[in-house]
């Protein structure tokens, strides 16, 4: 299902379309150059801790939109409180409590409701990165999305992973404390008996590789970034048709 690698991350121009959706949710929309007047599928991107308005996340959303020819919706799941980019992440006191499943899923549910209001009963695929990866499993388990992609998921449990009830693709680093080999192997064994799945493991890269290359001059880092995006698009092209 691999597409030909294309170095779009270096060449994309962001439309920077931010809208205020119901619930006062700031939402980034990435749109392809041409799209159907009545799309049948939409992609929901659930960002990492740096939020919907980070340059890396918006660039990724635009790339996925360009390659898939689908609209990509990226809501502000942190409601104005993402972690600032640059250096090691620093979490303000109480941040994790303010952005737990109840709060994040309120935003995601409002976003999905607005997707249905705007575009009707479209199929929704969700792709989540780091923090956002957890919610792909949870929403597949709840039957709220048709297919999912989780890249280097963090803070998720094995029960959430194996609870997935739809097609799931996982992109992971070979060595990642947030998704260690033991969990990866356990997840793969359980998913193989339940749902269509794909596990793509990248050596020589670290956590977060599918959103930003840790070293843009390192061809291996850039390859992993590009490959993960294109594999995600191939997955959605297959399962959202």
Does some domain include residue 89?
Answer: no
pLDDT of residue 4: 43
The predicted structure's pLDDT at residue 14:
58
* Active-site residue identified among 52, 152, 207, 221: 207
Write out the H or E segment, with its range, that includes residue 234. Answer: helix 219-239
| 2 found inside a domain | no
pLDDT of residue 16: 56
Q: Return averaged pLDDT per consecutive 10 residues of the chain, 241 residues in all.
A: 47 69 95 81 97 96 96 97 85 94 98 96 97 98 98 95 96 94 94 95 94 92 97 98 86
DSSP structure class, residue 54: S
176 noted as active-site residue = yes
Q: Please choose, from the candidates 38, 36, 26, 105, the residue with its C-alpha nearest in 3D space to the C-alpha of residue 73.
A: 26
Question: Which value, to the nearest 10 degrees, does the dihedral of the CA atoms of residues 132, 31, 221, 203 take?
Answer: 50
pTM for the structure as a whole = 0.92
Asked, for residue 234, whether it belongs to a domain, the answer is: yes
pLDDT at residue number 98: 96
- Number of compact structural domains in the chain: 1
**pLDDT recorded at residue 2:** 43
Which residue range forms the structural domain that includes residue 234? 8-84+94-239
233 in a structural domain:
yes
Catalytic residue among 76, 99, 130, 152: 130
pLDDT at 1: 39
Task: Yes or no: say if 241 and 122 are a contact pair by the CB < 8 Å rule.
Answer: no
CATH number for 209: 3.40.50.1820
Specify the DSSP class assigned to residue 10.
G
In a domain, 3, yes or no: no
- Whether residue 1 lies inside any domain: the answer is no
Exposure string (b/e) for 206-217, b if CB count within 10 Å is 16 or more? bbbbbbbbeeee
48, 76, 176, 221: the active-site residue: 176
């Amino acid at each position: 299902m691999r597409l030909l690698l294309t170095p779009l991350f270096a060449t994309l121009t962001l439309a920077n379309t931010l809208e205020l959706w119901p619930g006062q949710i700031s939402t980034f929309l990435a749109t392809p150059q041409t799209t159907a007047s009545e799309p049948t599928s939409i992609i929901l991107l659930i960002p990492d801790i740096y939020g919907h308005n980070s340059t890396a996340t918006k660039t990724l959303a635009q790339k996925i939109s360009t390659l898939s020819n689908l609209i990509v919706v990226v809501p502000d799941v942190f409601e104005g409180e993402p972690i600032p980019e640059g250096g090691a992440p620093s979490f303000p006191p109480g941040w994790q409590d303010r952005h737990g499943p109840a709060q994040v899923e309120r935003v995601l549910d409002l976003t999905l409701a607005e997707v249905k209001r705007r575009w009707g009963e479209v199929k929704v695929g969700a792709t989540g990165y780091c923090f956002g990866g957890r919610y792909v499993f949870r929403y597949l388990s709840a039957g709220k999305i048709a297919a999912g992609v989780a890249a280097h998921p963090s803070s998720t449990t094995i029960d959430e992973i194996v609870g997935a009830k739809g097609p799931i693709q996982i992109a992971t680093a070979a060595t990642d404390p947030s998704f260690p080999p033991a969990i990866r192997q356990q997840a793969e064994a359980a998913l193989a008996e339940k749902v269509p799945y794909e596990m793509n493991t990248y050596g020589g890269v670290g956590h977060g590789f599918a959103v930003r290359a840790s070293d843009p001059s390192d061809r291996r880092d850039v390859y992993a970034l590009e490959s993960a995006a294109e594999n995600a698009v191939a997955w959605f092209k297959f399962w959202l048709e």
